Amino acid sequence: MEKLAIAVIKRSHGVKGFLRIKSLSGETNHFVTLKKVFIKEEGRERSFLIESIKVISKDNLLIKLEGIDSPEATRTILGKEILVERKYASPLKKGEYYIKDLCQCNVYKKDELVGHVKAVLGAGYNDLLEVSGVNGEILMIPFINHFVSVIDIKEKKIMLTCNYEKP
């Protein structure tokens, strides 16, 4: 069962084990229907039933997980990502992609393999594709139409425009 990260646990809230979390997508509607989430700890995933969830703002929520009943109990999971099965993640709009899917893509300029997407980095105004180049170099490619012309998740391909030149 494939899982996607949907939030990060920011801090403990109150004395009953509530957690303040931040949505990674900026969307919160899909959270209110969740019954179970997963948290990766020390290389393994641990599942938690959700007792309560409340939307605080556009991308901040309070969540109460079963078995986490005090501020002390939250300490081991602070800073961790909350994962859900793909079908429960925020639905994508046209032109949106899950980072996990982008990180499975090879990057091409014309028919030449440039490298493989290693990560997507938030860099202020626009995101950057961190690409492991074919010669071992790390390339940072702005994730904007000026440099990226085609994204085909099914074929695991990202095509660069002719505007992109290796540094």
Burial (CB count <10 Å: 0-12, 13-18, 19+), residue 131: buried
What pTM value is reported for the model? 0.76
Mean per-residue pLDDT over the chain, rounded? 90
Distance CA 120, CA 108 (A): 17
Radius of gyration over every alpha carbon of the chain, rounded to an integer in angstroms: 18
The listed CATH number (3.30.590.10, 1.10.3470.10, 3.30.70.890, 2.40.30.60) that belongs to domain 3-88: 2.40.30.60
User: Over the stretch 70-104, which tens digit does the pLDDT of each residue have?
Assistant: 999 999 899 999 999 999 888 888 888 988 999 99
User: What are the start and end residues of each CATH 2.40.30.60 domain in the chain?
Assistant: 3-88
| CATH classification code of 99-160 | 2.30.30.240
User: Over the stretch 25-81, which tens digit does the pLDDT of each residue have?
Assistant: 888 888 889 999 999 887 889 999 999 999 888 778 999 999 999 999 999 899 999
Query: What pLDDT was estimated at residue 154?
Result: 94
User: What are the start and end residues of each CATH 2.30.30.240 domain in the chain?
Assistant: 99-160
